[in-house]
Amino acid sequence: MDFNILPGQPGAYGIRNGQGPRHLLGGMVASAYATGAETDGSFGLTMLTGGAEAGLPMLRHAEAHAGLYVLDGVVALTLNGQRYELVRGDYASIPAGTDWGLSMQRLRNVAMLFQTGGAACGVFPTLGRPFDGHVQPDKAPGSWRDLASGPVPGCDTTILGPLPKGLPLAQGRRDLPEGTEPFVIRAGEGDHVIVGEQLFTYTSRNRNTGGEFFTLLTEGPEGPMIPPHKHLRHDEMFFCVDGAVRMKAADEILELAPGDFLFVPRGTPHAFQFLRPYTRLMGWLKPGIFEPFFEILGDAAEATVYPEQPLPFRFDRVLARLGELDIVPLGAPPGAGKP
């Protein structure tokens, strides 16, 4: 399987931490993890790394729904006329037509930007310059002020102008809204489900994205590999936030460290295993048809950490509804039953 090379066509592949093709724009290093070419026009995923004042001016996507997940530092996000200061683990949902922009606040800031469609992520190669480094230049790295107003050719994006000043500081939510509206959800908050020894947290759901996708954090201890399976009608993205993950994808077994990404398109057999006492995955699943699975296999909970004692898997409920779930079981995990 290819790593660190965008294949330019649909198929399973991976990107190691920050090692996608890179462009320098607005003082940020934009590392491409996925573009429309790899996802059949479905989405793009970009790691943004920069220092203080790096960022993007106010902009708007005509059709793309964006999601921003902060990994390090502080990111000041202007969203729909409000200003938020996002820290590690905070997530922002930005529907199409929403005015937004960002300014990084610390000496090192890192965030993952997810955008539906194949065009919105084209802002970085279109307006930026190719860049070999993994961190911004120490001298004159640039800032969000470098980007001029106007439509970005072929990118489903219009730059609206400078970031506004003097906006009051808004607080992120602890629960998910009922509809498709801009919001920020605080780190660790959202809708929680316990499945066995793992805690799943929705940071956005179908009702927040018009069914286009949902976002899911998976947290748990070191444990066995889950049974292999595949999906026929949706794609999965696995991004390691903490710990280490062993992945089976097609006929290969590989490991993900923090910052590593694996794209598993529909039809690809896969499974995963957590290798550290605390491991966390961020997943984007598109379209959002698989959302009900987790509450069928497990149970909604108020817990905010994974359980000390695993709860039972409700395979009986899964089997009873297998016909409506986009999952094809493929047997026991690799190595199961061996001494």
**319-338 residue pLDDT tens:** 889 888 999 988 865 554 44
Sheet (strand 270-274) strand order: 252-256, 245-249, 270-274, 229-230, 328-329
Tens digits of residue pLDDT in 151-168? 999 999 999 999 999 999
Tell me the domain boundaries of the chain.
Answer: 18-183, 190-329
Residue 312 has what pLDDT?
Answer: 85
C-alpha 244: how far from its chain's center?
17
**Residue-level pLDDT at 333:** 59
User: 40-71 pLDDT, tens per residue?
Assistant: 999 999 999 999 999 999 999 999 999 999 99
Work out the mean pLDDT of the chain and round it to a whole number.
95
Mean of pLDDT values over 28-43: 96
- 66-72, strands of its sheet edge to edge: 129-130, 22-25, 28-34, 43-50, 109-116, 66-72, 91-94, 183-185
Fold of 18-183: Jelly Rolls (2.60.120)
At the top level of CATH, which class does the domain 190-329 belong to?
mainly beta
Beta strand segments in 5-154, E = 13-15, 22-25, 28-34, 43-50, 55-61, 66-72, 75-79, 82-86, 91-94, 100-104, 109-116, 129-130, 150-152
Q: Is the pLDDT of residue 313 over 90?
A: no
Same fold, 18-183 and 190-329: yes
